[in-house]
A and B are shown apart, each in its own frame.
Chain A
Amino acid sequence: MSFDQLYRHKPGENTEFALRRHPLTFIRQSLFFLLMAAVPAFFAWIVWNGELPPVENPLAKIALVILGSSYYLGIWTFYMTEFVDFYLDVSIVTNQRVIDVDQRGLFNRTISELDLARVQDVHSEIKGLVPTFFNFGRVLVQTAGEDKNFEFDNVPDPHRVRQRILELAHKDRMNESKELLAETLERRGPT
């Protein structure tokens, strides 16, 4: 996946990795969709032998077909919207910052970013039977001062993610210190 459309690279910035919710977390929506799709089809199959209910009035028959069609179009589009919500929810970690893209429904999209040098602590957690079995969980990035904390839910391999973010934050702080030192020395001039 290309993340170029999501953010503008700063000079010397490289994408390290991207985090997306574990695919298993989308199963709930898929099961719900399957259940919703199966109920009318099940009734048609069992009660009316795969045909429409035997209604005499052509108007009622048309209304029934239209209702059924609208129902299936509705749940199919709703399922697609859920997928877009799931798939476009992404967090990108570069060697300089963390960018969190939060897609909520179709008309609500939030993008926040955090400088890696401001990362104070990273906490990872795997809770529950299924997450333990499939190794996914929560990563909480705590920042210095009053900055907003970043939370990545249901990401694969959270402990490794925590480790990587801490390493990158350490590297970024070192680079910043080096730059600051070089700047100070330059300002002082040759001694």
Chain B
Amino acid sequence: MNLAVAPYLLLVPYAIFLLLIGLFALFNIGHLVRYGARNSVGFFVTFVYVCGLAIIMFMTWRYMPALDWNEPVPLVPVSAKASF
């Protein structure tokens, strides 16, 4: 028996992780703003950090395979199964 899983299910733990990263990002930026770094350094660092996050997210989107996220995909590919 070959189990099939809808690819979108893999995005659930990723979304939880993103939420956590978002929380940490907010804390980091909040600390800079709240504790006296409302200056060019604080602004520049925040800008670079947000740009970095954007680049990582863009690369993630770029490398993600284009497929139907709702269509179940077998855990073991059919071709690999046939070779057994």
Give residues in A with beta carbon < 8 Å to B: 1-6, 52, 56-59, 61-63, 65-66, 68-70, 72-74, 76-77, 80-81, 83-84, 87-88, 90, 101, 103, 106, 109
Question: Known contacts A69-B59, A77-B25, A106-B28; is A1 also within 8 Å of B14 by CB?
Answer: no
Which residues does B use to contact A, with CB under 8 Å? 5, 7, 10-11, 13-14, 17-18, 21, 24-25, 27-28, 31-32, 34-39, 41-42, 45, 49, 52-53, 56-57, 59-60, 63-65, 67, 73, 75-77, 79-80
Compute how far the CA of A65 lies from the CA of B58 in the bound complex, rounded to whole angstroms.
12
With a CB–CB cut-off of 8 A, which chain B residues contact A62?
A: 7, 10, 64-65
Name the B residues within 8 Å of A103 (CB-CB): 31, 35
Distance (whole angstroms) from the CB of B6 to the closest CB of chain A: 10
Residues of B within 8 Å of A84, CB to CB, are: 28, 31-32
**Inter-chain contact count A-B, CB under 8 Å?**
102
A69 touches B56 (CB 8 A): yes
Task: Tell me if A69 and B60 are in contact (CB < 8 A).
Answer: yes
Residue of A nearest to B7 (CB): A62
For B11, list chain A residues within 8 Å (CB).
Answer: 66
Chain A residues, CB < 8 A from B60: 65-66, 68-69
Q: Which of A56, A62, A87 has the most CB of B within 10 A?
A: A62
- B-side contacts of A73, CB under 8 Å: 17-18, 21, 53, 56
Give Cα A136 to B65, complex, Å: 51
Given contacts A6-B36, A88-B31, 15 further A-B contacts (CB under 8 A): A4-B36, A5-B38, A6-B35, A56-B79, A57-B75, A59-B5, A59-B73, A66-B11, A69-B59, A73-B56, A76-B52, A80-B45, A84-B32, A87-B37, A88-B36
Q: Name the distance in Å between A130's Cβ and chain B's nearest Cβ.
A: 23
B80, A56: Cβ atoms closer than 8 Å: yes
Nearest residue in B to A69 (C-beta to C-beta)? B60
Q: Is A59 within 8 A of B14, CB to CB?
A: no
A114 to chain B minimum Cβ distance, whole angstroms, is 19
The smallest C-beta distance from A12 to any residue of chain B, in angstroms, reads: 22
Q: How far is the CA of A65 from the CA of B56 in the complex (A)?
A: 11
